[in-house]
Amino acid sequence: MLAAVIHGARDVRAEDRPDPLLRTDDDAVLRVVAACVCGSDLWPYRGVTATQEPHPIGHELVGVVEQLGANVTSAQVGDLVIVPFSLSCGTCQSCRAGFPAACDQVTFFGSTDRQGHPVDGAQGERVRIPLAQHSLFPVGLSEAVVEERGLVPHLLALADVMSTGLHAATSANVKPDDVVAVVGDGAVGLSAVIAADLLGAQRIIAMSRHEDRAALARRFGATDVVAERGQDAPDAIRALLGGDLADVALECVGTAESMAQAMSVVRGGGRVGFVGVPNGGAQLPIRTVFGRNLTVGGGMASARRYMEELLPDVLDGTITPGDVFDLTLPLSEIAQAYAAMDERRAIKVLVRP
């Protein structure tokens, strides 16, 4: 089968790899209908996270079940399923508490499972899914219906970015009448705009310097756009709000600069939800948190949990998170998909096997 393999900085290739097999009774094998490139995939692509040896890459997919291990009863062969970016058991204390991303057995694409078996990347024609009983999320519609209704991008967004955006807003306890500033205009930041709108925020400020992304943020529910950065950002927000700052900031990038900006644009006693993967030097400034009485929450999103909340809103058209995909490429052109994201020629690239 064809699958994406990262060899090093700016070196992702579509290569032939062995077809996946069931290795345990808790596995499933899926045919991938659609995958995508994530902003967090760019950290190893750019060399910020070192690639020690070539390995499969990608962690977001919608697929059709082809094989099931004997212990997997949550789906049937032929079901269209979404798979969250982190695979979980569903029974440990963290899973029971609603945080499967912190599962005792958490397993990631492109790594190895608890038995030491290699795990495929999501950017491939087929994948083996460990911990399949909890990790498979059947949509309840056939592949044909999903394709006919154009739902594939919107379902795919639930595997990571839309769930992550909702995690930012939920972690910050966004409430009706809040003013929310969203730091980051990538797919996660745009999804956080959707989430803040879903939770009833009265005003949503998208912090963006790119016209196309700002326009999409407005379509998703942003009431204002602020382009300023650094020390100019809080001044720009005060100018919008009659001298006030935001009640909530959602940090959706993962760098020291983005965290500092989130802290600077929220009022004293305000709340910060952070979901940016901290690979760019982000640190939590405890003195600032202490001195300004900020409440900070967030981390890795438990997508499996949020998918259940968000699926009805996708199916009835309340939200269209798949609109963050502005480029679709075949798996054979995976190198071009990464380059387009890296060079900011695309917000998010959908990949079709």
Q: Give the separation between CA 311 and CA 315, rounded to whole angstroms.
A: 6
Q: Which amino acid, one-letter code, is at 204?
A: I
- pLDDT tens string 21-51: 999 999 999 999 999 999 999 999 999 999 9
**Residue 32 CB coordination number (10 Å):** 24
- pLDDT the model gives residue 279: 75
- pLDDT the model gives residue 281: 64
Q: Which structure tokens are listed for 291?
A: 């001195």
Q: How confident is the model at residue 93 (pLDDT cuts 50, 70, 90)?
A: very high
- pLDDT tens string 44-72: 999 999 999 999 999 999 999 999 999 99
Provide CB contacts within 8 A for 284, sequence distance 6+: 259, 296
Q: Are strands 126-129 and 80-83 parallel, antiparallel or unpaired?
A: unpaired
**Secondary-structure percent of the chain, ordered helix, strand, coil, rounded to 5:** 35, 25, 40
Q: In order of start, what are the domains of the chain with their CATH numbers?
A: 2-160+302-352 (3.90.180.10), 162-298 (3.40.50.720)
Place of tokens 């992702």: 12
- pLDDT the model gives residue 284: 86
Q: Which structure tokens are listed for 269?
A: 């006693």
In the predicted model, is pLDDT for residue 118 greater than 90?
yes
Provide CB contacts within 8 A for 40, sequence distance 6+: 254, 277, 279
Question: Which 3 state secondary structure label does DSSP give 51?
Answer: coil
Report in angstroms the alpha-carbon separations of 273 from 173, 189, 192, 233, 247.
8, 12, 10, 18, 11
- pLDDT the model gives residue 280: 62
Q: Give the separation between CA 232 and CA 237, rounded to whole angstroms.
A: 9
pLDDT above 70 coverage of the chain, percent: 99
**Residue 84 CB coordination number (10 Å):** 26
- pLDDT tens string 202-248: 999 999 999 999 999 999 999 999 999 999 999 999 999 999 999 99
Q: What is the pTM of this model?
A: 0.96
Provide CB contacts within 8 A for 261, sequence distance 6+: 183, 207, 229, 230, 233, 249, 251
Q: What mean pLDDT do residues 258-287 have?
A: 90
**Residue 11 CB coordination number (10 Å):** 14
